[in-house]
A and B are shown apart, each in its own frame.
Chain A
Amino acid sequence: MKKKIVGLFILSFTIILSGCSQWIDRGESVTAVGSSALQPLVETVAEEFQQDQPGKFVNVQGGGSGTGLSQVQNGSVDIGNSDMFAEEKSGVDASELVDHRVAVIGITPVVNKEVGVEELSKEELKQIFLGDITNWQEVGGNDQEIVILNRATGSGTRDTFEKWVLDDENAISSQEQESSGMVRQIVSDTPGAISYLAFSYVTEDVDVLAMDGVEPTDENVKTNNWPIWSYEHMYTRGEPTGLTKEFMDYILSDGVQEELVGQLGYIPVSQMEVERDANGDIVE
């Protein structure tokens, strides 16, 4: 008898709780998944957004540009974050997706502080990543073997770098790391290391390299003098509606673009003096 009462109690408790959950879940939520380069920006914007509007949630997750594109394409998430144009990724039907460009990010080669090189030509940089130059001495640095560090195949940062520096050729097989934070740490610890990072990840621990005499700065990206940059896309399946639309409008609003985007190391799209299409051609 006692057991039955306990059982009944648990049962009713569960029912009440599940009833509650429905009541709690009455708040709306959207999920954004993908590019780890874009993740910090979306997370920060989402926090601000939620503060202003209680009961509305934006879940932000990483996972890589490929994940973002494929998840949004098959409808698992509302927003897919990507460093690449959907057209550039095989297996994605770009016509189903709507592109929202929320920011621009520059990518720069970074080296260990001890290599003794501050500037390379694009050709030298290309030869390094294709394995033709293997010692820093050959480009005017210290007598030190070059250690190449790549991001994982398919990473948006790597794709952008290969597109603009290696002219779409593949870097030689070498060490690969999954995240930008890891790349930064390994470059700063490993003698002779070279890799590439988004501007937002660059810190004092590593040296950036100028290319063909152009410094990797936001100003140079805006005029396309520094060609290694990409749009940060947020893709939706069809035109966004409801909370997704609200959030997209919010992230593209002047307040967010002018304040947050710059603070976090990205460049607002509105400040770009050039525009590029999926093929990398400049359009007016």
Chain B
Amino acid sequence: MENVKEELTKKSKKSKLERRGRIISFSCISIIVLVVLSIFYFVASRGLSTFFVDNVNVFDFLFGTEWNPGQVGSDGQPMVGALPMIVGSFTVTFLSAIIATPFAIGAAVFMVEISPKNGQKILQPVIELLVGIPSVVYGFIGLSVIVPVIRAIFGGTGFGILAGTFVLFVMILPTVTTMTVDALKAVPRDYREASLALGATRWQTIYKVVLRAAVPGILTAVVFGMARAFGEALAIQMVIGNAALMPTSLVTPASTLTSILTMGIGNTIMGTVENNVLWSLALILLLMSSIFNIIIRLIAKKGAMKK
């Protein structure tokens, strides 16, 4: 009798295993959360010290156009206007997303609706190959091919937002395409069948039913692509010219948050104004990527297909 009781109340081997598994996964998760939190804390504490320690006005930082952190401007404040970089970053991001989207949708429609077999066999691997190319290679191609072509056609030096847009367009294309493919695939089969049964042609079905139903997914894909474009540093740095000037046209040298950040971080000393403002740029990047994340979540929530 005693034996049976003990047998029943004692933890079984299975439950021990389960507990062990839970401990492992919990500790992994908590480490990840800790890392993310400490990154946030570190970037924020460094980035905010521009405003709290060096007493730079937030509005001067966000909307000023003079960037020369080592120098003191006429108002006695360091010249840390980040607007040229902010404008540069947003312009290349939006332009490249605008160019990439139609191509991505076209490729995805081909792969899912028009020729799934060829699409899966040929087009998909080709597009996915683009992901594996390191960004320095894109930058170099941009520098030696795109920049001279732009110079020949539009004049100027060729460096600028336009060159950056073309490089980023190729870089985000695979992200947007593969995610659009997933969105199209997720459209239920009965939608298509119902449309065809009503007598719609294939094009009508694709245009009026499949694409419409996949809009939230496609938007998510585009925002993902934009997040990637916004954070890209190396390739864009090689073709945009890195001049901290307000861009006056698409073919004059400009700069992005990332390009100024990567160029400056090695040449500044921790704790100085020059270094702190770079962390502030990093903070903007971090906040922007959080915003992109929130947008993606909102789209996904709103557009979740109801069964």
Kindly identify which residue among B70, B71, B262, B270 contacts A178, using a CB–CB cutoff of 8 Å. B262
A193 to B158 CA separation, bound complex (whole angstroms):
12
Chain A residues whose CB sits within 8 angstroms of the CB of B263 once the complex forms: 152-153, 176, 178
- In chain A, residues 171-193, which have Cβ atoms closer than 8 Å to a Cβ of chain B? 173-178, 182, 185-186, 189-191, 193
Kindly identify which residue among B241, B242, B264, B272 contacts A91, using a CB–CB cutoff of 8 Å. B272
A67 (CB) vs chain B CBs: closest residue: B266
- In chain B, residues 139-175, which have Cβ atoms closer than 8 Å to a Cβ of chain A? 143-144, 147-148, 151, 157-159
B267, A176: Cβ atoms under 8 Å?
Answer: no
A182, B267: Cβ atoms under 8 Å?
Answer: no
A173, B269: Cβ atoms under 8 Å?
Answer: no
Task: Using known A-B contacts A69-B269, A92-B269, determine if residue A153 contacts B243 with beta carbons closer than 8 Å.
Answer: no
Smallest CB separation, B158 vs chain A (Å): 7
Per the CB 8 Å criterion, the residue count for chain B at the interface is 34
B266, A189: Cβ atoms under 8 Å?
Answer: no
Chain A residues whose CB sits within 8 angstroms of the CB of B274 once the complex forms: 153-154
- In chain A, residues 57-113, which have Cβ atoms closer than 8 Å to a Cβ of chain B? 62-67, 69-70, 73-74, 89-92
B71, A170: Cβ atoms under 8 Å?
Answer: yes
A74 to B270 CA separation, bound complex (whole angstroms):
10
A92 to B270 CA separation, bound complex (whole angstroms):
10
Smallest CB separation, B208 vs chain A (Å): 48
Per the CB 8 Å criterion, the residue count for chain A at the interface is 33
Smallest CB separation, A1 vs chain B (Å): 13
B303 located at the interface, meaning its Cβ lies under 8 Å from any Cβ of chain A in the complex? no
A147 located at the interface, meaning its Cβ lies under 8 Å from any Cβ of chain B in the complex? yes
A90, B269: Cβ atoms under 8 Å?
Answer: yes
A155 located at the interface, meaning its Cβ lies under 8 Å from any Cβ of chain B in the complex? yes
Chain B residues whose CB sits within 8 angstroms of the CB of A73 once the complex forms: 269
Chain A residues whose CB sits within 8 angstroms of the CB of B275 once the complex forms: 91
B266, A66: Cβ atoms under 8 Å?
Answer: yes
B266, A64: Cβ atoms under 8 Å?
Answer: yes
Task: Using known A-B contacts A173-B68, A175-B157, A190-B157, determine if residue A155 contacts B267 with beta carbons closer than 8 Å.
Answer: yes
A179 (CB) vs chain B CBs: closest residue: B263
A175, B159: Cβ atoms under 8 Å?
Answer: yes
**Can you list 19 A-B contacts with CB-CB less than 8 angstroms, sorted by A residue number?**
A66-B268, A66-B269, A70-B270, A73-B269, A91-B270, A153-B263, A153-B267, A154-B264, A170-B71, A173-B243, A175-B157, A175-B159, A175-B242, A175-B243, A176-B241, A176-B242, A176-B255, A178-B263, A185-B143
10 smallest CB-CB distances across A and B, nearest first, come from A154-B267, A64-B266, A91-B269, A91-B272, A66-B267, A152-B263, A70-B269, A176-B242, A175-B241, A64-B267
What is the interface of chain B, defined by CB distance below 8 A to chain A? 67-71, 143-144, 147-148, 151, 157-159, 237-238, 241-245, 253, 255, 262-264, 266-272, 274-275
| Other A-B pairs beyond A153-B68, A155-B267, 10, CB < 8 Å | A66-B269, A70-B270, A91-B269, A147-B157, A152-B242, A152-B263, A170-B71, A173-B67, A176-B243, A176-B263
